[in-house]
Structure 1
């Protein structure tokens, strides 16, 4: 795998889509031809397509994203998620690195490369993580189900950055990524940078194999183990916080529900763009490249965790019935109203990101447009770009410094100034572009993922 400059990241959306279209092992001949048809639109090979220079300012970035995602259709009438991914790629709003596909020859290698991490810090082969007393396998406690994934794999998915020490007196944040992403690429340009720069906490992160596209119940095992492992590593004198993006929050709620031993180990949960109640847009994510401009159809193959995130899926319904719609620990949830291109509904009392407080643990639900109003911070923010939002950063720091949940009242005097920013203070334009670009990289992996299903995975015995 060859890491390249930012300008070469177009390979993550152009040539990579093209290579995938002709070689996924589980894709039939007709489906490959359909993919190839769509790739003609994605690959920027027709003469009418143009690749713009990257945004020149934060306001330019926000304006371009607004023009792509907040609009119903473009001049050609295109309005699917996949159409808009193409438009974002052509606007050069992309993640900060790509891969050199000239070194990829075989379809299996292409698939592994696209779905796998692009950065060594997103490795799930961290075999040097130390043994820690107090981490029990295959069961963390008598009240938990047994793990089904080998302990070596569970431990190797935890990334302890160079310089991390178990003896520091600072609290720790465990970052849990979302669908189609890994820990550092999701959080590195935004909240991880904000938190470490402010000295608010030490950070570790989770890199779940297959970028959280596998069965969400398997993804949850990695989270459950990571909570127990990191807490045992840092001891009782340091507090463990969890910050999740997208599915990372849903899977964490699953962990709190079915691995109850994890709950007292976590100080708080901070959730960005979560889909605690699923999303009505999941079916649209299952269209795949070959159906880029077709009407939505039922029963198209899709990564398992995407099927499980459909609104009222078996997994979502089961979690809700078991009490997973309410907080188990102090919880702060952030979402972007009508502009989230992946999770809907996300407005008012119906927001999928809204979490209840039946257990009286303390909850702060924040729809950023409601708080920031007509200021720049009240404008367009999508599923990934919310990670660099100035209010999200400010309230995350507030929660870490004071204990969760975050409090709007504690920062009330600063809210006007905070909301005047497009990206959080301390972040640069390049950070905002990388963060927004994660949605394109996630889309690449949605297509590349080889083990697509037509039906949701069955529920595990412990949840039935």
Structure 2
């Protein structure tokens, strides 16, 4: 994970079913080192299908470890449910917040997603679906207070995301650079999974990581050119994607709960 050229290490946090292998091994974990960044990943228990507050504790330890090993602040790039875990870690652990310079999220259910509400409406509602439902106590606690102003936050999302809706509303974070890909690349066909390899999203991530503050779309030349990030190869993407999809469907084996898990005591205040 040792960065070069004075750049920071980047912690990659995946979503439900998509851990280090499924989400990053074929893409960002290859591309970022070529840009001079050190990379580390975190494996969330049970493929990220369980209680988000437990998953967030693993992100806490991962950020602490990355900071210790690199000897400086780190950056975080997260996709799907991963941003909720990372933001939770920074909200409630002050030492974690001071350890992070840039936070870049892709397809983030910062305020939940109506997909989770729909899942619960049909009578099957595991812990994570409760927590990531639009209007949940979990997302209310997550957004009750802002992150430290020293953290530069960029939220990149697609209006065509089938999993995170309404995308502009639920993926926007106060004080962040909230960037809908279609606002700058009209009609760009990017759905939920493809945000992990989309070329425009990748350029915005790199812009955020290589400049003070969040990403600025107008600063990125040829933002909308191409389809995939530089390291992308379809043959390397397909096996992890298939495994991630199998892991994701495994959420159907999680217990359905009548209500969300109680918030930890530390999240009831502040």
TM-score when normalising by structure 1: 0.53
1:323 aligns to 2:153 (yes or no)? no
Counterpart position of 1:149: none
Q: CA deviation at 1:247?
A: 1.5
| Counterparts in 2 of 1:167 and 1:201: CA distance versus 1, 3 Å | closer
1:441 aligns to 2:246 (yes or no)? yes
| Counterparts in 2 of 1:454 and 1:327: CA distance versus 1, 3 Å | farther
- Name which of 21, 31, 35 aligns with 1:184: 21
SS of corresponding position for 1:331: strand
- Name which of 254, 260, 269 aligns with 1:456: 260
Cα distance in 2 for residues equivalent to 1:438 and 1:389: 20
Counterpart position of 1:344: 165
1:335 aligns to 2:153 (yes or no)? no
Q: Tell whether the 8 Å contact from 1:194 to 1:393 is kept in structure 2 after alignment.
A: no
Counterpart position of 1:216: 52
Structure 1 unaligned segments of length 5 or more: list them.
1-163, 287-295, 358-362
| Counterparts in 2 of 1:190 and 1:209: CA distance versus 1, 3 Å | same
Q: CA deviation at 1:436?
A: 6.1
Q: Tell whether the 8 Å contact from 2:158 to 2:167 is kept in structure 1 after alignment.
A: yes
What is the CA RMSD across the aligned residues, in angstroms? 2.5
Counterpart position of 1:409: 218
Cα distance in 2 for residues equivalent to 1:185 and 1:454: 31
Q: CA deviation at 1:430?
A: 3.3
Q: Tell whether the 8 Å contact from 2:155 to 2:172 is kept in structure 1 after alignment.
A: yes
Q: Tell whether the 8 Å contact from 1:200 to 1:397 is kept in structure 2 after alignment.
A: no
Counterpart position of 2:134: 311
Counterpart position of 1:367: 180
Cα distance in 2 for residues equivalent to 1:335 and 1:438: 24
| Higher gyration radius (CA) | 1
- How many pairs were matched up? 268
Cα distance in 1 for residues equivalent to 2:248 and 2:232: 25
CA deviations 1:177-207 (Å, max 9, x no partner) are 11222123112222222212x2330111000
Cα distance in 2 for residues equivalent to 1:170 and 1:229: 17
Cα distance in 1 for residues equivalent to 2:79 and 2:29: 12
| Counterparts in 2 of 1:404 and 1:437: CA distance versus 1, 3 Å | farther
Cα distance in 2 for residues equivalent to 1:395 and 1:438: 27
Q: Tell whether the 8 Å contact from 2:157 to 2:167 is kept in structure 1 after alignment.
A: yes
